[in-house]
Structure 1
Amino acid sequence: MPDQPPEPRTLSTGHEVAVPLETEAEATAVVVTADAKAADEWLPEELAPVRVALGRTAVTFLSVDYRRIGDDAMAPYEEVGVLLAATPADGPRQEFAALRRGLAGSTGALGGYVAALPVTTEPARALGAEIWGYPKSVASVRITDRGDRRRTAVRDERGHLLTLDAPWNPRFEATVRTTSYTDGDGRGGGADGGVPARRQPLELSGRFGGRPFGGTYTLGRHPLAERLRDLGLGRSLGALAFDGRFTIGGGRRVDP
């Protein structure tokens, strides 16, 4: 990530953080196929789904266990993300444009639109919502290890949302740069609140692991789970694992 002077920010909870924000985290993810047309209806008008096959895009279910937030700015927490593969809607062949820019190392194209981001504490919710517009909510996230696999279950007062099971196998050192996208108002779900979509540069540096077609997911009866079923979710494309440093830069708007 290009060097940026740290910008101090004070949250409504009184916690002080600096952006770009450096964290230490462990994460697993399961990437599955989804109907591209249905996914497009979730996205702000500035974004388009990245197609991985004819009529299909990808959805990532992400589980993160944060060990450190900035300069110990707040207590560690857990989160679960629902991300739709997306890129700026600047042409008729968005999937090829995204691939070209991603291979070139740009952090301005290929990435994930954050549809939902349950977290375990109120300071964590305020951090994401107030600085980047992430659609965070407070929920119960339980992460457990079973041998070389990691299981994540998330629920709130509306019921069970999701259970993930993925290999825990981070072994290979690498640095990966990508992008997250938000509505800018922290509402998620493609909410049309008149606020331009925003992008946030991300950098992950540490140990990675993967397994093609690995990992499983189970949806509960939570209202968000019912919406996810409307995406026509399909087979797993693969599972990922990460252990290292995760840095989030300042956001900027996505030009339509």
Structure 2
Amino acid sequence: MTEPVRLPLAYHDTAVACSYHLASAAAVAALLPRDRGRPLLRPLPGPGGRTVVAVHALRHRTVTWTGTDGGTHRLAPYGEVGVTAGVLAGPGARRGGRPATGGFVLQLPVTSREARDLGRDAWGLPKWLADMDFLDAPGSQRVRLGEDGTEVLVHTVRAGGPALRGTRARRLWSVCGGRLLETTTPVLARWQAHPGPGGAELVLGGHPVADALRRIGLSPVPLAAFRAVEHRSTLPAGRPLGDADAAPGAGHPGRDAEFGRFTVAHPGTAPLSQYAEPAAV
């Protein structure tokens, strides 16, 4: 019998490419959790009624956890694309009454059922099964995200130059079982940055999730872009806070399969599946 996954998870080797975009603050606010109508999180304020939304493309290559026997267990590698709103905690989501900033995940497709179910069950994250085709090139990374042959988005990040080391904690809020969870993830990384609009491209396809991103006015032009040449993190259990209503319309159901398509290619090479058995399309 397979032992249930135990937290925390250790992410030893993750490829990360991310960009930051503007979106409608009012449209994002409508997707954030509330407690009996009272907002728990608010979009970070930006110019002209806009707020910041991040798009992350990740390849988790080595993920482990420690079993009850003290042995090391592994998750299958998986791809992940996160669309996360930058938020400011309200009174029901503050640590010791102090203001706090972090993120609330709006979409989080992944390429394995194992990662999907764990994210849904442990944190209430809006994970769904998708297909991802990555292209790695010198100074850039691209991912094509799709489902059953329909393209959701294409995300390309271009960042180079010196890689600066940074140690920080990433704070995320989610709603699980009617409770607001706060999860703080320590991160050790070395980042390459490209400030300004030329560092990334975001093209939305004809999928319902792409339509949902259009409804929040997500700009295809980024504010800045980053790539991690080294990225390690630890994902613990969330800390329960007060009651919370699930965000309206949260979570695309997606299909049910053990794996989605997860390929990686380099210039001049054919895509290579990251799973032992090619995933059916």
1:131 aligns to what SS in structure 2? helix
Q: Does residue 178 of structure 1 match 2:161?
A: no
Q: Does residue 152 of structure 1 match 2:143?
A: yes
Contact 2:143 2:154 in 1 (8 A): yes
TM-score by length of 2: 0.73
How far has the Cα of 1:162 moved from its partner? 1.1
Aligned CA RMSD, in angstroms, stands at 2.4
Contact 1:15 1:74 in 2 (8 A): no
Q: Unaligned regions of 5+ residues in structure 1, if any? A: 1-12, 102-107, 186-194
* Match among 193, 202, 209 for residue 224 of structure 1: 209
Q: Tell me what 2:24 maps to.
A: 35
* Match among 222, 227, 234 for residue 241 of structure 1: 227
Q: Distance in 2 between matches of 1:232 and 1:79?
A: 22
Equivalence map 1:99-248=2 (5 Å): 109-157=100-148, 159-169=150-160, 171-185=163-177, 195-213=178-196, 214-234=199-219, 235-242=221-228, 243-248=230-235
Q: May I ask how many residue pairs the two structures share in their alignment?
A: 223
Q: Distance in 1 between matches of 2:108 and 2:236?
A: 18
Change in CA separation of 1:38 and 1:79 when aligned onto 2, cut-off 3 Å: same
How far has the Cα of 1:212 moved from its partner? 1.0
- Report which of the two structures shows the higher radius of gyration computed on alpha carbons: 2
Contact 2:22 2:218 in 1 (8 A): yes
* Match among 237, 242, 245 for residue 250 of structure 1: 237
Deviations 1:189-241 (Å, cap 9, x if unpaired)? xxxxxx13222111210211211122110011110111111111223111112
How far has the Cα of 1:174 moved from its partner? 1.4
How far has the Cα of 1:81 moved from its partner? 0.7
Deviations 1:76-123 (Å, cap 9, x if unpaired)? 1111111111121239xx9xx99xx7xxxxxx8211111111111111
Contact 2:159 2:194 in 1 (8 A): no
Change in CA separation of 1:248 and 1:254 when aligned onto 2, cut-off 3 Å: same
2:122 aligns to what SS in structure 1? helix
* Percent sequence identity over aligned pairs: 29
How far has the Cα of 1:135 moved from its partner? 1.2
Contact 1:158 1:222 in 2 (8 A): no
